[in-house]
Amino acid sequence: MPAILCSAVLAALAVFQIALACGAPLGAYAWGGQHGGVLPVRLRIGSAVSVVLYAILAGIMLSRAGIVTLLPDAVARPAAWTVFGYFVLGAIMNLISRSPKERAVMTPLSVVLAVLALLVAR
C-alpha cells in the first residue's frame, strides 16, 4: 500500500509539473518560488523532465514492493533507499525555500513521500 500511495502522490505532482511546463502561473509553488507566475523556459523544461523522473521513482517504488517487476530486487532494494534519500533531501530543500507557498505545500508532500519511501525500502 505505501508504494501505491507514493506513486499516487508522484502522479499528482506530475500533473502539477505538466501544468507548470505548459505555462500555468503556479511558479510560487516550485523551483524556489522565485518566479511567482509563469516559469521561464528553462524551468518549464525542468518541470517536463521532472515528470519523467517521477515516473522512474514510482517504478522503483512499485518494483521494490513487488507490485510490478521492473527491476530485480538486488537493484530495487538500494534504489528504493536512494529514492528515500532523494525525498528527504527534497523535504529539506522545500523547508528552506524562500517561497512561503512552496514551504507550506511542498514540504509536507516531500515528508509524506519520504515516509512512504522508507516504508517501501524497509
pLDDT for residue 11? 98
pLDDT tens by residue, 24-43:
999 999 998 888 899 999 99
Residue 82 CA to residue 88 CA, distance in Å, equals 10
The grid cell for 94 is: 522545500
pLDDT of residue 90: 95
Q: What is the pLDDT of residues 33-76, one digit of tens each?
A: 888 899 999 999 999 999 999 999 999 999 999 999 999 999 99
Place of cell 500511495: 5
pTM of the model: 0.91
Distance CA 108, CA 80 (A): 20
- 24: Cβ contacts below 8 Å, ≥ 6 apart: 38
State residue 36's pLDDT score.
Answer: 85
C-alpha distance across the termini of the chain, in Å: 13
Residue 119 is predicted with a pLDDT of 98
**Mean pLDDT within 77-104:** 95
Please tell me the predicted confidence (pLDDT) of residue 23: 96
DSSP state of 39: P
pLDDT at 44: 97
- Average pLDDT estimate for 106-120: 97
Query: Quick one: average pLDDT of 70-97?
Result: 96
Provide the pLDDT for residue 96. Answer: 92
- List the grid coordinates of 75: 537493484
Contact of 99 with 107, CB cutoff 8 Å: no
Euclidean distance between CA atoms 79 and 112, whole angstroms: 18
Task: Give backbone dihedrals phi and psi of 86, rounded to 5 degrees, phi first.
Answer: -60, -45
